[in-house]
Amino acid sequence: MNAVHHAEEASPLPYPDGWFALCFSRELKPGSVLTTPFMGRDVVLYRTRSGQVRATDAHCPHQGAHLGHGGTVEGENLVCPFHHYAYGQDGRCVRAGQAEGGRRAALRTWHVREWNGFVFVWQNAKGLAPTWELPEVDMDGFSVPVGRSYTLRGLMQNLPENGYDIEHFGALHRWTDMSPHAPLVDGPRISMHVDMAWKGIRWRTLIGVHGLGCVSSDHEMKSLGLEAKIFACGVQVAPMQWTFRDGISFRFSWLAKWPPFLRHAIYAVLSRTLHRLWLVPVFKEDIMVWSHRDYSRYAEPAAGSGPYPIFRRWATQFYPAPATPTRAANAPMAAADSHGVARQTGS
Ligand code: FES
Ligand SMILES: [Fe+2]
């Protein structure tokens, strides 16, 4: 979009509820602290020395220092750089100074899950604790997921709905022989089998979407002996800006009998290659469209009975009602706190 700079663009939708990935697990080594943008605010992630990941509001409740700028991990606690108050895993202040009579305000924490190499936090506009969980994925024999992140203009719903927009598979990606099965809706989950072909190779997929923030899809190309799992996890970071992280993991049936060390060595090399040659080019085509799309009518109800309108109607459950538009952070009205920023404690 050229006419409107996206920093000033209003969103047609409020921030959605659910689980959203804020970083890769590998970005958080024990003892490290990371600031991540999330729905118009910063969230601070850290990993304790024992390996637990925690997420908190960015600012210290004492005098407002940003914990992502100079905050440190001491054992299982997060320590503020300003006066060295320390906060435990549940956000409680476990060490305070005496200058203000030892007053101990708690730090707000977010519910966190680590899932297949991604760190998710739970968002709920009403402040509810998690009402559903991310899926169990059988990774037996699969390679370690390899992926990267992208930050784009637009709405994160692009990512989960992509797998239900069958028309674009042929038009944009040039896949052929599409045969979608009916989507199955199960509360916060939706799934659909699609049979198709890529360069003449038969390809069967099962596209599972868990809330709007977690796409977990299974792919099988029998003639190559290839099974793959592709993860795609999006998050809205500002009203019209979002980030997604992908990951691909696979196994070849003809490698199953090879010695593990050899198999792992081959997977290590092939993982990056497969990601670069398969996933990156496909997402580049989508990104070209997503980055310049007109979103002004995006919140209009979807009519019809195909997979795409079924998906669009299913997706409405994640948007807090009434759907008032979010605005850019620098627009002259309160943005983040009035649209979906929940206060939660514990994990
Ligand atoms: S502002 Fe954090 S300890 Fe004072
Ligand atoms: Fe696509």
ipTM: 0.97
Closest Cα to atom 4 of ligand 1: 83
- Residue 64 CA: which ligand 1 atom is closest? 1
Q: Is 60 in the pocket of ligand 1 (CB under 6 A)?
A: yes
Tell me what percent of the chain is helix, strand and coil, each rounded to the nearest 5. Answer: 20, 35, 45
Which of 62, 66, 78, 79 has most ligand 1 atoms within 8 Å of CB, for mutation?
Answer: 62
Reduced to 3 states (helix: H, G, I; strand: E, B; else coil), residue 246 is: strand
Tell me, rounded to whole angstroms, the distance of Cα 183 from its chain centroid. 22
Give, in order, the Cα–Cα distances in Å from 148 to each of 23, 81, 288. Answer: 10, 31, 17
Give, in order, the Cα–Cα distances in Å from 314 to each of 68, 105, 149, 193, 308. Answer: 36, 40, 26, 17, 10
pLDDT digits (tens, 9 = 90+) for 9-52: 899 999 999 999 999 999 999 999 999 999 999 999 999 999 99
Q: What is the pTM of this model?
A: 0.89
pLDDT digits (tens, 9 = 90+) for 132-168: 999 999 999 899 999 999 999 999 999 999 999 999 9
Q: What is the DSSP string of 19-76?
A: EEEEEEGGG--TT-EEEEEETTEEEEEEE-TTS-EEEEESB-TTT--BTTTT-EEETT
pLDDT digits (tens, 9 = 90+) for 314-335: 999 999 976 455 554 333 332 2
- Residue 67 CA: which ligand 1 atom is closest? 2
Q: For residue 238, list its beta bridge partners.
A: 241
CA triplet 207, 212, 214: central angle to 5 degrees? 55
Token pair, residue 159, equals 């990512």
Distance 71 CA to ligand 1 centre (A): 10
